[in-house]
Amino acid sequence: MPSDLVWSKLQELRDNALSAIASASDENALTTLQKKYLGKKGEVQAYMQHMKELSAEERPKLGALVNEVRDRIEARFAETEKKLADARLMADLKLRHEDLSLPGRIPNRGAEHPLQETQREIEDIFLSMGFEIARGPQSEWDYFNFEALNFPADHPARDMQDTLMLENGSLLRTHTSPVQVRTMLCYEPPIRIIAPGTVYRRDDDVTHSPVFHQIEGLHIEKGLNLTHLRGILQLFAQSMFGKDTKIRLRPSFFPFTEPSVEVDIACIFCHQKGCRMCKGCGWIEILGAGMVDPNVLREGHIDPEVWSGWAFGVGIERVAMLLHGITDIRLFFESDLRFLSQFRV
Ligand code: FA5
């Protein structure tokens, strides 16, 4: 075929293709046209066969022209494809009769669990006083849970915390106090940490759960005494329960503190007039505490002649129950949304 004829036929093909594509009625018709013009055996590619009929100078011209025609046709395909998709969307919307004046659906919002919230609030109070967070394992060795804390083997004090034993000879920690010795063995004093975590006991009633949470506090420094402990706990109680909250320290016993105390707050429900929550006595116990026993400091490789320390252990459920006036601890663990959604902020 003479070259002039090739050029004009190719241009004719381009113009036909462009108008056929523009008037394609739907996406199926478009696919058929795509194959017809741009497929491997399509009409545009077929023009490459004329190469051999052309002179050496004309061949690159044909190549460039074929490419240009292909680009134009491709661009027209893209435009038409978008036009058809938009039209289909509009038709769908019309069919569905969307009522754009309907109010939107409000998605269900999650919220922090009340125990998590209480834990974070307690942590924030101590972090603001310069304490750092330490952690320890929940499956613990007898040594850290009892022995290093001055509970000799077979000592009756071990019965104070009914223990769940594991098959490998370890146990589920009954309190967060094992983190005390673990921390002492890792860091040089002065030490100022809180250790939040899950603990386990064979205990189950409306105020005691087999799985519950504590936060341990430990401060080791030169010259600490019970008044420092009292001061910090007073500040804690006021930050947590209100600035007028009074505390009192009652003598108690823990093998790992000497002296040991139970700490009560003045009843926040009846202001000490006597109510069901404080069982009529005006005080509510919130935590156990005391000065770290010298034997425990020695287990942590700390010299009790140089350093002294205080520690406390507070139950997170206990604090959350007081804050929200909850009388049954099991509500925290039942995942009942009627209960949990009341805490959504
Ligand atoms: C202890 O666990 C000591 N380790 C606390 C301590 C730390 C004393 C450091 C001295 C120095 P106790 O067994 O009293 O102590 O538990 C502390 C708190 O945990 C209690 O006041 C209570 O709020 C909470 N608690 C204890 N048992 C349960 C339970 N089964 N369910 C929920 N909370 C509990």
Q: Domain map of the chain by residue range? A: 4-96, 114-343
Whether the per-residue pLDDT at 25 is higher than 70: the answer is yes
246-274 residue pLDDT tens: 999 999 999 999 999 999 999 998 989 99
Tell me if 197 CB under 6 Å of ligand 1.
no
- Report the residue among 115, 214, 319 best suited for mutation to probe ligand 1: largest number of ligand atoms under 8 A from its CB: 214
Whether the per-residue pLDDT at 219 is higher than 90: the answer is yes
How high is the pLDDT of residue 345? 64
Residue whose CA is closest, atom 29 of ligand 1? 208
Mean pLDDT computed over 207-224: 97
Q: How far from chain centre, in Å, is Cα 67?
A: 56
d(CA 69, CA 61) in angstroms, rounded, equals: 12
How high is the pLDDT of residue 292? 98
Cβ atoms of residues 184 and 302 within 8 Å: yes
d(CA 26, CA 145) in angstroms, rounded, equals: 75
Return the ligand 1 atom nearest residue 318 CA: 23
| Count of Cβ atoms closer than 10 Å to residue 183 Cβ | 20
- Report the residue among 254, 319, 332 best suited for mutation to probe ligand 1: largest number of ligand atoms under 8 A from its CB: 254
Higher pLDDT among residues 259 and 277, named by residue = 259
Mean pLDDT computed over 143-147: 96
How high is the pLDDT of residue 109? 80
Mean pLDDT computed over 116-122: 97
How high is the pLDDT of residue 289? 98
Residue 48 DSSP code: G
Return the SS3 of 254: strand
How high is the pLDDT of residue 129? 96
Return the SS3 of 112: coil
Whether the per-residue pLDDT at 6 is higher than 80: the answer is no
Tell me if 214 CB under 6 Å of ligand 1.
yes
Whether the per-residue pLDDT at 10 is higher than 90: the answer is no
Tokens at 268, concatenated: 């926040």
97-108 residue pLDDT tens: 777 888 998 888
pLDDT band at 111 (very low <50, low <70, confident <90, very high): confident
- Report the residue among 287, 291, 314 best suited for mutation to probe ligand 1: largest number of ligand atoms under 8 A from its CB: 287
Higher pLDDT among residues 5 and 254, named by residue = 254
Higher pLDDT among residues 90 and 298, named by residue = 298
Tell me if 209 CB under 6 Å of ligand 1.
yes
Whether the per-residue pLDDT at 278 is higher than 80: the answer is yes
289-307 residue pLDDT tens: 999 999 999 999 999 999 9
Return the ligand 1 atom nearest residue 319 CA: 23
Cβ atoms of residues 6 and 18 within 8 Å: no
Tell me if 257 CB under 6 Å of ligand 1.
yes
How high is the pLDDT of residue 324? 94
Q: Which amino acid is at 243?
A: K
Cβ atoms of residues 290 and 216 within 8 Å: no
Sign of CA dihedral 240, 131, 160, 204: positive
Tell me if 288 CB under 6 Å of ligand 1.
yes
d(CA 161, CA 146) in angstroms, rounded, equals: 10
- Report the residue among 202, 206, 212 best suited for mutation to probe ligand 1: largest number of ligand atoms under 8 A from its CB: 212
Residues 6+ apart with CB under 8 A from 264: 247, 248, 250, 283, 284, 285, 286
Distance 86 CA to ligand 1 centre (A): 66
Residue whose CA is closest, atom 15 of ligand 1? 288
Whether the per-residue pLDDT at 175 is higher than 70: the answer is yes
d(CA 22, CA 12) in angstroms, rounded, equals: 16
- Give the architecture-level CATH label for domain 114-343: 2-Layer Sandwich (3.30)
Whether the per-residue pLDDT at 123 is higher than 90: the answer is yes
Per cent of the chain over pLDDT 70 is 99
Residue whose CA is closest, atom 23 of ligand 1? 315
How high is the pLDDT of residue 100? 81
pLDDT band at 158 (very low <50, low <70, confident <90, very high): confident
46-81 residue pLDDT tens: 877 877 788 888 888 888 888 898 999 999 999 999
How high is the pLDDT of residue 1? 64
Cβ atoms of residues 257 and 311 within 8 Å: yes
| Count of Cβ atoms closer than 10 Å to residue 125 Cβ | 18
Sort 282 into a burial class: Cβ within 10 Å, 0-12 / 13-18 / 19+: middle
229-246 residue pLDDT tens: 999 999 999 999 999 999
User: Average pLDDT, whole number, for the chain?
Assistant: 92
Cβ atoms of residues 217 and 131 within 8 Å: yes
Distance 188 CA to ligand 1 centre (A): 27
